[in-house]
Structure 1
């Protein structure tokens, strides 16, 4: 049972293995975890540098479509070269980027099975688009005045945007703000760009593709509301029949208490056991 694991922003596979260490005590011995390092160097996530040596890595530093595309291609090439993998396990930015990859595969190949049979998404920020055509559909018709409203990052200005862009922009701004201690950049760094280079959140009412495989969506009970909102939005891309949710008490981390770790692993076992049934 091979599972490809993708770490969060400002971390690396060693950090992720530590995050999973309590869970690992309850894993089935047939589960094999393969860790993929992100392709981009970045600052360490808060608290990481005190305990773990670098390099500190991420999947995209600027969250723009070009670097998103590089990360999506890396995931695809890894699955082709090192797979097949039965499932994926992503934490934070790793969850977001692998969700984007799977949705893109579902969009490109609607009549084919996905490259994996199940997915575990933990503390996922919003899914960001890597498809220039999708971004053009969403942002391409914006007037110069509306682009300025978007780039102002002021909610009263953003509220005047056309509905599809408004919804995507609000989710983006909420999460960029709460993630500022991690990425360390101002909102203008992400917004003062040509529209085609602004990070673009993918929302279910704007994107048709869905994931029909069993999925587990894990979130901290005390995570910031915008992050919990992102986890819920991302879960709505997944089939309710094969979807499970688990909330735990660690803030933007994986469960650290034995009781919660056991409970999460039981959910993992459920989606893994049902991963064949979902294709019937």
Structure 2
């Protein structure tokens, strides 16, 4: 049995409609309640979000809630995450690994992930503190050192571009990175160049070719924080959704078979 983490706004009926092939295999796993949005009238709700925000403290709260779900409903063999749910899954897996805890999942299927944020306040702490000392929002790319520029460029092509396009996710307030901002509140975006240790379980990453460029860029970040030897990346012909065409679904199923087989080989690893 696998745990499913969907996007925001989310409800169990929406998950079942989106994944008809495996609807009998996934339990609803949802979090904080949100108001019903226009366009969601086809679903009864209630609607939820996995996080109240993306600061380290808020991510810790989301991780703790996920721990409680696993304790109550687990154990699970794998985890499936879509959009915000995919980002939370990766953040959670990375957190367990960083704390040298046994992973509660053997493999992960990540679909159209938004950018993952760490619950560890020390993640990217130096570069975030230095950016908070500058007016990042008032100058497109300030004359900063190499690490600052890498982080600023990632924010620009993902989070900032999402805001320019009025995207619902990720709802990150970029003003926290401005001069005078509180670094403790700044989301620890998991930049692949600064993640100390890649996620070391088999992962399959699925992205839509017609998704927005900034969404595909965030999914690329999600893929890049995983160990390359244990990760597969697939592209389907749709947008910000799971694959719908039978041939594309079969490709995902084959990739999941690969991930499950690989996880069985590593079943006794304490990573």
Q: 2:168 maps to what in 1?
A: 182
Aligned residues: 263
Matches within 5 A, 1:243-254: 243-254=231-242
Q: 1:77 maps to what in 2?
A: 68
CA distance 1:227–1:141, shift in 2 (3 Å): same
In the alignment, the residues of structure 1 paired with residue 57 and residue 230 of structure 2 have an alpha-carbon distance, to the nearest angstrom, of 32
In the alignment, the residues of structure 1 paired with residue 118 and residue 202 of structure 2 have an alpha-carbon distance, to the nearest angstrom, of 22
Instruction: Tell me, yes or no, if the aligned pair for 1:214 and 1:278 is still in contact at 8 Å.
Output: no
Q: 1:92 maps to what in 2?
A: 83
Q: 2:13 maps to what in 1?
A: 14
> Of 156, 176, 179, which aligns to 2:141?
156
Q: 1:64 maps to what in 2?
A: 55
Deviation at 1:249, TM superposition (A): 1.2
Deviation at 1:94, TM superposition (A): 0.3
Instruction: Tell me, yes or no, if the aligned pair for 1:211 and 1:239 is still in contact at 8 Å.
Output: yes
Instruction: Tell me, yes or no, if the aligned pair for 2:95 and 2:118 is still in contact at 8 Å.
Output: no
> Of 32, 43, 60, which aligns to 1:52?
43
Deviation at 1:216, TM superposition (A): 0.3
Structure-2-length-normalised TM-score: 0.85
Deviations 1:113-159 (A, max 9, x none): 42110011110111112222225333234463x1x2x243x4233xx
Q: 2:22 maps to what in 1?
A: 24
Instruction: Tell me, yes or no, if the aligned pair for 1:171 and 1:201 is still in contact at 8 Å.
Output: no
Deviation at 1:190, TM superposition (A): 5.9
In the alignment, the residues of structure 2 paired with residue 186 and residue 103 of structure 1 have an alpha-carbon distance, to the nearest angstrom, of 20
Q: 1:123 maps to what in 2?
A: 112
Matches within 5 A, 1:104-143: 104-109=95-100, 113-134=102-123, 136-142=125-131
Structure 2: any 5+ residue segments left out of the alignment? none
Shift >4 Å, 4+ stretches:
183-193
Instruction: Tell me, yes or no, if the aligned pair for 2:205 and 2:232 is still in contact at 8 Å.
Output: yes
**Which structure: greater helix fraction?**
1
Which range moved further: 259-268 or 122-131? Answer: 259-268
- What RMSD in Å do the two structures reach over aligned CA positions? 2.6
Say whether residues 1:165 and 2:148 are aligned partners: yes
Structure-1-length-normalised TM-score: 0.82
In the alignment, the residues of structure 1 paired with residue 171 and residue 107 of structure 2 have an alpha-carbon distance, to the nearest angstrom, of 34
Deviation at 1:188, TM superposition (A): 5.4
CA distance 1:188–1:102, shift in 2 (3 Å): closer
